[in-house]
């Protein structure tokens, strides 16, 4: 009989859903343009804080949040042959881990290029650090714009994978990312969870650092 086991900690779940909402807002605000771009820039700083926090949490957070526990690309062949048990992949499976790391990298590049980009239209909503880019500000803007299709493709693949797991493999990945709990056949006695207070303090520090970029 399977039991409901806590797998995902609260900070990891909050990061996931805050990032989802923020990315939708970034796409919406970019399409609207105009005065919405001011909020686009502010939201970019918020996403920067989220990404910095997730990288930090990937080294000092709960076991299932740590990169060392789930980023194991050499195990992909075993996973594809269904040789990895539920308990071995209690967190991200090897393929999902690749998507997580890739999303962090691509979103990180998107945010950094946005910070140094210069508004092509009115030069009103320039990136907060565009003054330091000099003649390269245009290059940063082009990279920032051209990487969007790749980011949208990755988001689409992520959603598609979740739907395939839900309807084909009968494995609901959404519910555990909301409640933090998975139905597993065996307990995970050695699973360690980091302090939520530590996560909150870390995020506040990263948020302050990110916000400080708007004052440089």
Kindly state the helix (H) or strand (E) to which residue 19 belongs, with its residue range: helix 10-32
The answer to the question of residue 164 being in a domain is no
**Residue 23 belongs to what domain range?**
3-145+174-215
Position 208 scores a pLDDT of 98
The answer to the question of residue 108 being in a domain is yes
CA of 12: how far to CAs of 17, 26, 171, in Å? 9, 21, 20
The answer to the question of residue 160 being in a domain is no
Q: Output the average pLDDT for the chain.
A: 92
Tokens, residue 19 = 């990032």
Whether residue 187 is predicted with pLDDT greater than 80 in this model: the reply is no
The answer to the question of residue 72 being in a domain is yes
The domain that contains 7 carries what CATH number? 1.20.950
CA 166 to chain CA mean position, Å: 21
The answer to the question of residue 196 being in a domain is yes
The set of residues, in sequence order, having a beta carbon less than 8 Å from that of 140 and lying 6+ positions away, is 113, 114, 116, 117, 118, 127, 130, 133
- For the chain, how many structural domains are there in total? 1
The predicted-structure confidence for 87-113, as pLDDT tens digits, reads as follows: 677 789 899 999 999 999 999 999 999
The predicted-structure confidence for 109-166, as pLDDT tens digits, reads as follows: 999 999 999 987 656 789 999 999 998 999 999 999 999 999 999 999 999 999 999 9
CA 62 to chain CA mean position, Å: 16
186 or 110: which carries more pLDDT confidence? 110
Q: Looking at the DSSP assignment, which residues form a beta bridge with residue 6?
A: 181
């Amino acid at each position: 009989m399977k039991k409901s086991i806590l797998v995902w900690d609260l900070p990891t779940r909050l990061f996931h859903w805050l990032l989802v909402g923020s990315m939708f807002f970034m796409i919406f605000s970019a399409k609207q343009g105009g005065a919405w771009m001011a909020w686009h820039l502010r939201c970019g700083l918020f996403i920067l804080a989220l990404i910095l926090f997730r990288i930090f949490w990937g080294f000092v957070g709960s076991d299932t949040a740590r990169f060392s526990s789930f980023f194991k690309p050499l195990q992909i062949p075993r996973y594809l042959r269904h040789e990895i048990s539920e308990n071995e992949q209690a967190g991200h499976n090897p393929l999902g881990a690749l998507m997580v790391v890739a999303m962090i990298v691509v979103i990180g590049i998107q945010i950094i290029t946005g910070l140094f980009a210069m508004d092509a239209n009115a030069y009103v909503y320039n990136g907060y650090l565009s003054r330091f880019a000099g003649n390269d500000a245009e290059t940063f803007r082009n990279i920032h714009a051209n990487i969007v299709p790749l980011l949208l493709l990755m988001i689409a693949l992520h959603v598609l994978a979740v739907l395939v797991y839900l309807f084909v493999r009968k494995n609901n990945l959404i519910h555990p990312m909301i409640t933090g709990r998975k139905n597993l056949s065996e307990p995970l006695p050695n699973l360690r969870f980091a302090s939520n207070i530590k996560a909150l303090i870390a995020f506040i520090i990263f948020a302050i650092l990110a916000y400080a970029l708007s004052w440089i």
